[in-house]
C-alpha cells in the first residue's frame, strides 16, 4: 500500500472542499469595479444577407454605453483557425473568414450580429430589442451530402464550394485498399451517423474584459481550458495585442469537455470593448446562448467497409465520412475528423490496409469542434460497430473475432501512421470477461426474458491516442501550435513547493493528483505542494488541458522540473554534509550520504538555498526554482475492453442499461479514485450519446433541440453502477511517469458497447436489425422493431 | 425578464379584483410562467400572486368522501397529503423534480393545461370538479385543447374536487429530455363506470379514450384492451416520437394502468 498521498494512493480531492461548499472562484464570480454588461444580438435565421442594422433608437436608451456591430471590427482580425489540413490532392483547405461580429451575412442561428454594452444586463437586453436589423433570408445549407453535391447556395460566397477539404489517408493506400476489398472473401458494410452533441458543461461560458489605460495592459478573465492559447490566438491574430500586454486568467472552470478549448468571438469582443468603452465589460452566457454558440461535437455521416478472409482475419478497411464543420472553422475543428480520427482507424487490430476519406463540409449550423474524445469516439464507434456486424454475418463470436485480430506485439506500427508503444489487448479482454461475468450472461438473459424484457450483451474494444502531442509531428500535420507542456516548480525556504503548471484543471483534480507525484519523488507529504494554474501572468507558457494530456505531458514537465530541483538540492546537501554529489541519496524527505549515517532533511536544504550562509556559491546559484518544458516523443495509447448489458422493453422500445463494465489499461496510475471518476464520467457521457443526446436542426437551420426541454442530458437514473478496473497496466515507454491518460476513454469506448448490446438484444429476439443510429431513443428502437 | 409589479392578495376576492386590471396576470407556482418571463416571451405589467391566499391551500375531505384540493396547493403537498386518493398522490409525487413540486400548484397546472402535463389526466380521468371563484366546471367541460380551458379572463381555480374511485392508476412514459409525459394514461374505476384519460399524446391536449372505457366497462381487465387500437390521427409528432408511436403507447400505458389497478 503506497503511503497516503503518494503515487497510487487515493486521497480525497482537495479542490472539492471549495467546489462543494460554494467557495470556488468561477469566472462569473469575478466582477471588476465599474464593469458594464454586454448582451449579444444573435441571428434568429440560419442564413441571410444583412441589409441594414439601425442602432439609433437603441443607442439612446437608458443605460446604454455603446452598441457595436461588425463594422466596428473591420480593422481587427477574425477568429483564427489553429489547424490547416492539406487535402488528398495536395491543396490546403478552404478557410473562411470568421469575424468577431457578423459582417454582411449571418451564417447560423446564434451568429452574433451586434452587441450592446450597458450599465446593467437587463438594460442591454432592452436596448438589443430596439435594434432594427433587416436581413434577407437565404436558403439554409444543412444536409452535408447535399451541400457538397450542390454548391449553388454557399455558406461562404468567397469560397469555391461548401467543401472545406477532401482528405485521404493514407492516400497511397487508396488503390490497394480498393483492390483488397474487391477481392475479399467477405465485406461487411455499415452506414451510420455519429450524432451531433452539445457539451453542456455545468458552468456556461463567461468573459470579462478589463483595460488599464495608464499601463496599456489588457486582462481577459475567461472560462478556458488553455489561457495561453487564448492569449496567443487573440493577441496575435485578432486584436494585435502583444503577449506582454495581455493577461488571460481562467480560474475555477466548471467543466469543459473540449468546448472551452477554443477561442470564441465573445472573448475577443469583451477584450476589445473594454478598451473601446473605457471600462470593464462582462458577458455571461445564458444556457440558451450556450446551445447556439458553444462549439458542438461529433456530427459525422460515415460508410465503413471491412474486408475479411474466410477465417475472419481482417484484410482491409475503408471508411468515407462527411464531417460537419458548421458555419465557421472553430479553433481545432479541421484536425478532429482527420488526424484525431483517421490515425485511430486501426483500433486494436492488425488490419494491414486502411484508407480513410473525410469530406469536411460547411453548413449553416453552429461550428463543430473537439468534444471529449474528439475524433477517436467517431473512429471507435464505426470500427467496433462494423466488427460487431461482421461477426454476426460471419457467424463468429464477436469477442472471438476481435481476439483473432488483436495486435499482440509491441511496438506496433499501424498502417495509419502511428506506433503503439505498449498494450495487452487479450489481458484487458480477459479482465473484462471476469469483471463483467460474461459467462453468466445467458442466465441473466433468461431472467430478463421471464420478466418480458429483451436482454442483450455488447462488447467492444477501444484504443485512443492521448497525450497530444509531439510538436514536430503535429507541425507537419498542419497544427499551427506546439503541443508541449510546461511547469515551474518553486521551492520555498521552509520546504513547501508551488507548481505553476501549463495544464489547466476544470474539474480533473490536478490540485490533488499532481502533488502526489512530487510527494512521491521527494518523500514529503503531498500537502506541502500547491498547484497554480490558469493565469498567464503566473505560469509559464503552456498549452492547456484536452486530449487526456495533463498528466502524460504536463505531469512529465512537472516531473522534469522536479528532477532538476532534486539534482540541485543534492548538490546543496552534498555541500552541507561535505560529501560528493554522486554519493547523495534522497529518500523519505531526507538526504543521506550513501554508506554512512549522515543525513540532512529536505527542509534544511531548502532553507540553505534561500539563506545561503553555508552554501557552494562558487558552484551554484542560491534559490530553488526550476522550469521544464516537455515535448512528448509519441502519443500515448490507452486501451481497454468494455461490456454493456441492456434490457429492451419490447412494448415501448425503452432501453435500460443493466450493467456496464470497463477494463482499461491506462499504464501507471497516480490516483485510482480520480481515474475511477474519470471513467465513470466518460461512460456517462457515452451513454448520453448512445441513448439520449442529439442536436437536431430542421431543414431551415433552426435548432430544434435548443434547450433541456428537448436536448436530453443523461441523469443519474439513466446510468447503472459501473464496474471499472484498471489493474491491467502496460506503462507508457516514453514518458517519465509511464502514464497514458484516462480522461476520454469512457466517452470513446462506451457508445459502441451500448449500441452493440441493443442490436444484440433485438437480434436474439428475432428482429432483423443490424443497426440503429444514435441516440437509441425509445421511439427509434420501437420504430426499428416495428418497421 | 421585463420589469413588473407584483401583488400578493390574501383573499380570493382581492385577487379577483386585482385581476380586473387588463395588464394583470395571475401567478401561482410560476413553474411555467417564470421561465417564460425570463425568456422575455411574456411581458405582464403586474403579477397577481395566488399563493398567499390561505383559502386556496390545503387538502380536505368533501361531500361523499371526495378529496378537495385548494387551487394553490403544491404538488408536494398533494403527494404528501392526498392519502385518501393514493393514485392522485402518486401522480403528484412524480411531477417534475422536488423544486418543481415545492412550487408548482394544481390550479396553475390545470389553468395552463399543458398538453404534456400530468394533472389534466388526473382531473379528466377522475371526472373532477373544477371550482372557480364564479362557478363549478365539470372536467369534461373544462379542457378545450392545448393550453386552452373553459376559464374566463380573470377567473381563478380555487379548488379541485376529486371523487375517489374504487381503484385508479397513472402510468407515465416520459419524454427523455423534459421528462414531461410523452404519453401518460390515468385510469379510474368508479361504481358508475371507468374513465381513461390520456395526456402527452394529442394535439388537442388531454382526452378520454372512450373505446377503452367501453371495453373496460364491459370487462375491467388488461385482456379487454387487447383488440383495441388507438387512432394516430391528431397525435403529436416530433423528434421524440411519431404519431404512430404515441398512439401505440396510449394502449401500452392503458394496459399497464389497468394491470396495476
H/E/C letters for each residue in A430-456? Answer: HHHHHHCCHHHHHHHHHHHHHCCCEEE
Average pLDDT, chain A: 97
Tell me the nearest-neighbour CA distance from A57 into chain B, angstroms: 18
pLDDT for B63 equals: 84
Interface of A with B in 66-125 (CB under 8 A): 122, 125
pLDDT tens across A146-194, in order?
999 988 999 999 999 999 999 999 999 999 999 999 999 999 999 999 9
Distance from C-alpha of A319 to C-alpha of A317, rounded to nearest angstrom:
7
Q: Which residue of A has its CA nearest to B178?
A: A709
Contact A705 B239 (CB under 8 A): yes
Q: Kindly indicate the confidence band of residue A4, based on its pLDDT and cuts at 50, 70 and 90.
A: low
Tell me if A773 sits within 8 A of A196, measured CB to CB: no
Q: What is the mean pLDDT of residues B170-174?
A: 98
Distance from C-alpha of B51 to C-alpha of B233, rounded to nearest angstrom:
39
Tell me whether A704 touches chain B (CB under 8 Å): yes
Q: What is the DSSP string of A147-193?
A: HHH--SS-SSTTSSSSEEEEEEETGGGHHHHHHHHHT-SEEEEEEEE
Residue B256 corresponds to which cell in the numbers above?
399497464
Angle at A456 between CA A451 and CA A461, to 5 degrees: 155
pLDDT for A540 equals: 97
Q: B254: which strand partners?
A: none
pLDDT tens across A210-256, in order?
999 999 999 999 999 999 999 999 999 999 999 999 999 999 999 99
Question: Does the pLDDT of residue A330 top 80, yes or no?
Answer: yes
Question: Does the pLDDT of residue A743 top 50, yes or no?
Answer: yes
Distance from C-alpha of B110 to C-alpha of B108, rounded to nearest angstrom:
6
N-term to C-term CA, chain A: 57
Distance from C-alpha of A358 to C-alpha of A168, rounded to nearest angstrom:
7
pLDDT tens across B206-247, in order?
999 999 999 999 999 999 999 999 999 999 999 999 999 999
Q: What is the mean pLDDT of residues A695-700?
A: 98
Residue A306 corresponds to which cell in the numbers above?
471491412
Select from B245, B246, B253 the residue whose CB has the most chain A CBs within 10 Å, as the one to mutate to test that interface: B245
Angle at A728 between CA A727 and CA A733, to 5 degrees: 120
Tell me whether B40 touches chain A (CB under 8 Å): yes
Q: What is the mean pLDDT of residues A26-55?
A: 98
Tell me whether A763 touches chain B (CB under 8 Å): no
pLDDT for A151 equals: 85
Share of chain B above pLDDT 90, in %: 98
Q: Which of A125, A129, A712 has its CB closest to that of B176?
A: A712
Tell me if A336 sits within 8 A of A371, measured CB to CB: no
Share of chain B above pLDDT 70, in %: 100
Beta-carbon contacts of residue A422 (< 8 Å; ≥ 6 apart): A410, A411, A637, A667, A730, A731, A732, A733
Q: What is the mean pLDDT of residues A330-342?
A: 97
Q: What is the DSSP string of A699-725?
A: TT--BS--STTTS----GGGS--EEEE
Q: Are strands A112-118 and A36-42 parallel, antiparallel or unpaired?
A: antiparallel
Q: Kindly indicate the confidence band of residue A5, based on its pLDDT and cuts at 50, 70 and 90.
A: confident
Average pLDDT, chain B: 97
Q: Which of A122, A777, A782 has its CB closest to that of B176?
A: A777
pLDDT tens across A479-525, in order?
999 999 999 999 999 999 999 999 999 999 999 999 999 999 999 99
Q: Which of B177, B241, B252 has its CB closest to that of A709?
A: B177
pLDDT tens across A759-772, in order?
999 999 999 999 99
Q: Which CATH class is domain A15-23+484-630?
A: alpha beta
Q: What pTM was computed for the model?
A: 0.97
Tell me if A734 sits within 8 A of A634, measured CB to CB: yes
Considering the domain delimited by A296-469+634-785, tell me its CATH architecture. 2-Layer Sandwich (3.30)
Distance from C-alpha of A250 to C-alpha of A200, rounded to nearest angstrom:
18
Considering the domain delimited by A31-138+202-255+260-293, tell me its CATH architecture. Alpha-Beta Complex (3.90)
Q: Kindly indicate the confidence band of residue A1, based on its pLDDT and cuts at 50, 70 and 90.
A: very low
Interface ipTM:
0.96
pLDDT for A3 equals: 56
Domains along the sequence of chain B with CATH: 5-49 (3.30.43.10), 54-162 (3.30.465.10), 167-260 (3.30.390.50)
Contact A652 B240 (CB under 8 A): no
Contact A712 B40 (CB under 8 A): no
A321 SS3 class:
strand
- Look up residue A8 and give its DSSP letter: T
Is A296-469+634-785 in the same CATH topology as A15-23+484-630?
Answer: yes
Task: Map out the domains of chain A as residue ranges.
Answer: 15-23+484-630, 31-138+202-255+260-293, 296-469+634-785
A314 SS3 class:
strand
Amino acid at each position: 500500500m503506497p503511503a497516503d498521498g503518494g503515487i497510487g494512493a487515493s486521497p480525497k480531492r482537495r479542490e472539492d472542499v471549495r467546489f462543494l461548499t460554494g467557495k470556488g472562484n468561477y469566472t462569473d464570480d469575478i466582477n471588476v469595479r465599474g464593469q458594464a454588461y454586454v448582451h449579444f444580438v444573435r441571428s434568429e435565421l440560419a442564413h441571410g444577407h444583412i441589409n441594414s442594422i439601425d442602432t439609433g433608437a437603441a443607442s439612446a436608451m437608458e443605460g446604454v454605453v455603446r452598441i457595436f456591430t461588425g463594422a466596428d471590427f473591420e480593422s481587427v482580425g477574425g477568429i483564427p483557425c489553429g489547424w490547416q489540413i492539406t487535402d488528398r490532392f495536395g491543396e490546403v483547405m478552404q478557410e473562411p473568414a470568421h469575424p468577431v461580429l457578423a459582417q454582411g451575412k449571418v451564417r447560423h442561428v446564434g451568429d452574433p450580429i451586434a452587441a450592446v454594452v450597458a450599465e446593467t444586463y437587463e438594460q442591454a437586453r432592452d436596448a438589443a430589442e430596439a435594434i432594427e436589423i433587416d436581413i434577407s433570408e437565404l436558403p439554409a445549407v444543412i444536409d452535408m451530402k447535399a451541400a457538397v453535391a450542390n454548391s449553388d447556395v454557399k455558406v461562404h460566397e468567397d469560397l469555391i464550394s461548401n467543401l472545406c477539404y477532401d482528405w485521404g489517408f493514407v492516400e497511397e493506400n487508396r488503390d490497394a485498399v480498393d483492390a483488397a476489398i474487391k477481392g475479399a472473401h467477405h465485406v461487411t458494410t455499415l452506414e451510420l451517423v455519429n450524432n451531433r452533441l452539445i457539451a453542456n458543461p455545468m458552468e456556461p461560458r463567461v468573459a470579462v474584459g478589463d483595460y488599464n489605460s495608464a499601463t496599456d495592459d489588457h486582462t481577459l478573465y475567461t472560462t478556458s481550458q488553455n489561457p495561453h492559447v487564448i492569449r496567443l490566438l487573440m493577441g496575435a491574430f485578432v486584436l494585435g495585442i502583444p503577449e506582454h500586454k495581455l493577461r488571460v486568467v481562467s480560474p475555477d472552470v466548471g467543466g469543459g469537455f473540449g468546448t472551452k478549448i477554443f477561442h470564441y468571438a465573445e472573448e475577443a469582443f469583451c477584450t476589445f470593448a473594454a478598451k473601446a468603452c473605457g471600462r470593464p465589460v462582462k458577458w455571461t452566457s445564458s444556457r440558451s446562448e450556450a446551445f447556439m454558440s458553444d462549439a458542438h461535437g461529433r456530427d459525422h455521416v460515415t460508410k465503413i467497409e471491412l474486408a475479411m478472409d474466410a477465417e475472419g482475419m481482417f484484410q482491409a478497411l475503408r471508411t468515407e465520412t462527411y464531417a460537419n464543420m458548421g458555419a465557421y472553422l472553430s479553433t481545432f475543428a479541421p484536425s478532429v475528423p482527420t488526424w484525431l480520427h483517421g490515425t485511430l482507424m486501426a483500433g486494436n487490430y492488425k488490419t494491414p490496409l486502411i484508407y480513410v476519406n473525410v469530406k469536411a463540409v460547411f453548413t449553416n449550423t453552429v461550428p463543430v469542434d473537439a468534444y471529449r474524445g474528439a475524433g477517436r469516439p467517431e473512429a471507435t464507434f464505426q470500427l467496433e460497430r462494423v466488427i460487431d456486424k461482421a461477426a454476426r454475418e460471419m457467424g463468429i463470436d464477436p469477442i472471438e473475432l476481435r481476439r483473432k485480430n488483436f495486435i499482440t506485439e509491441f511496438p506496433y506500427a499501424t498502417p495509419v501512421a502511428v506506433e503503439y508503444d505498449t498494450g495487452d489487448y487479450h489481458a484487458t479482454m480477459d479482465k473484462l470477461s471476469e469483471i463483467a461475468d460474461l459467462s453468466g450472461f445467458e442466465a441473466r438473459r433468461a431472467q430478463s426474458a421471464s420478466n418480458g424484457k429483451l436482454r442483450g450483451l455488447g462488447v467492444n474494444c477501444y484504443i485512443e491516442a492521448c497525450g497530444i502531442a509531439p510538436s514536430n509531428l503535429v507541425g507537419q500535420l498542419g497544427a499551427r501550435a506546439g503541443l508541449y507542456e510546461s511547469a515551474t516548480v518553486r521551492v520555498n525556504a521552509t520546504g513547501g513547493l508551488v507548481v505553476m503548471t501549463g495544464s489547466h484543471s476544470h474539474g480533473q483534480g490536478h490540485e490533488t493528483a499532481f502533488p502526489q507525484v512530487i510527494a512521491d519523488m521527494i518523500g514529503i507529504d503531498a500537502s506541502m505542494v500547491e498547484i497554480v494554474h490558469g493565469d498567464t501572468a503566473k505560469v509559464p507558457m503552456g498549452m492547456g488541458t484536452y486530449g487526456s494530456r495533463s498528466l502524460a505531458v504536463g505531469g512529465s514537465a512537472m516531473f522534469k522540473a522536479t528532477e532538476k530541483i532534486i539534482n540541485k538540492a543534492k548538490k546543496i546537501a552534498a555541500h552541507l554534509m561535505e560529501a560528493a554529489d554522486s554519493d547523495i541519496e534522497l529518500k523519505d524527505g531526507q538526504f543521506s550520504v550513501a554508506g554512512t549515517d549522515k543525513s540532512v532533511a529536505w527542509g534544511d536544504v531548502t532553507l540553505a538555498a534561500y539563506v545561503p550562509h553555508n552554501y557552494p556559491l562558487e558552484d551554484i546559484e542560491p534559490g530553488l526554482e526550476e522550469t521544464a518544458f516537455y515535448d512528448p516523443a509519441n502519443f500515448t495509447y490507452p486501451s481497454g475492453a468494455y461490456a454493456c448489458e441492456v434490457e429492451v422493453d419490447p412494448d415501448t422500445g425503452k432501453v435500460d442499461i443493466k450493467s456496464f463494465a470497463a477494463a482499461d489499461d491506462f499504464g501507471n496510475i497516480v490516483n485510482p479514485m480520480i481515474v475511477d471518476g474519470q471513467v465513470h464520467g466518460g461512460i456517462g457521457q457515452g451513454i448520453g450519446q448512445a441513448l439520449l443526446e442529439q442536436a437536431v436542426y430542421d431543414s431551415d437551420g433552426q435548432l430544434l433541440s435548443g434547450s433541456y426541454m428537448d436536448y436530453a442530458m443523461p441523469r443519474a437514473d439513466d446510468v447503472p453502477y459501473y464496474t471499472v478496473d484498471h489493474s491491467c497496466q502496460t506503462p507508457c515507454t516514453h514518458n517519465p511517469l509511464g502514464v497514458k491518460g484516462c480522461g476520454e476513454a469512457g466517452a470513446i469506448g462506451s457508445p459502441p458497447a451500448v449500441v452493440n448490446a441493443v442490436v444484440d438484444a433485438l437480434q436474439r429476439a428475432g428482429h432483423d436489425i443490424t443497426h440503429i443510429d444514435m441516440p437509441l431513443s425509445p421511439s427509434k428502437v420501437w420504430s426499428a422493431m416495428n418497421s | 425578464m421585463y420589469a413588473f409589479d407584483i401583488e400578493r392578495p390574501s383573499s380570493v376576492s382581492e385577487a379577483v379584483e386585482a385581476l380586473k386590471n387588463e395588464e394583470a396576470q395571475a401567478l401561482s407556482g410560476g413553474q411555467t410562467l417564470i421561465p417564460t418571463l425570463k425568456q422575455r416571451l411574456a411581458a405582464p405589467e403586474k403579477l397577481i400572486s395566488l399563493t398567499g391566499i390561505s383559502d386556496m391551500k390545503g387538502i380536505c375531505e368533501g361531500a361523499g368522501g371526495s378529496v378537495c384540493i385548494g387551487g394553490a396547493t403544491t404538488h408536494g403537498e398533494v403527494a404528501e397529503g392526498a392519502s385518501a386518493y393514493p393514485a392522485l398522490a402518486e401522480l403528484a409525487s412524480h411531477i417534475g423534480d422536488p423544486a418543481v413540486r415545492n412550487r408548482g400548484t394544481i390550479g396553475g397546472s390545470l389553468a395552463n393545461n399543458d398538453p404534456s402535463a400530468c394533472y389534466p389526466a388526473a382531473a379528466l380521468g377522475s371526472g373532477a370538479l373544477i371550482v372557480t371563484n364564479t362557478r363549478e366546471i365539470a372536467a369534461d367541460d373544462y379542457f378545450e385543447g392545448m393550453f386552452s380551458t373553459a376559464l374566463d379572463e380573470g377567473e381563478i381555480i380555487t379548488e379541485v374536487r376529486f371523487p375517489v374511485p374504487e381503484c385508479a392508476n397513472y402510468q407515465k412514459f416520459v419524454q427523455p429530455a423534459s421528462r414531461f409525459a410523452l404519453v401518460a394514461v390515468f385510469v379510474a374505476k368508479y361504481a358508475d363506470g371507468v374513465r381513461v384519460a390520456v395526456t402527452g399524446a394529442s394535439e388537442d391536449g388531454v382526452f378520454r379514450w372512450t373505446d377503452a372505457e367501453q371495453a373496460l366497462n364491459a370487462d375491467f381487465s388488461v385482456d379487454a384492451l387487447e383488440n383495441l387500437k388507438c387512432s394516430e390521427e391528431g397525435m403529436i409528432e416530433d423528434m421524440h416520437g411519431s404519431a404512430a408511436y404515441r398512439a401505440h403507447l396510449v394502449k401500452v400505458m392503458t394496459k399497464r394502468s389497468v394491470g396495476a389497478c
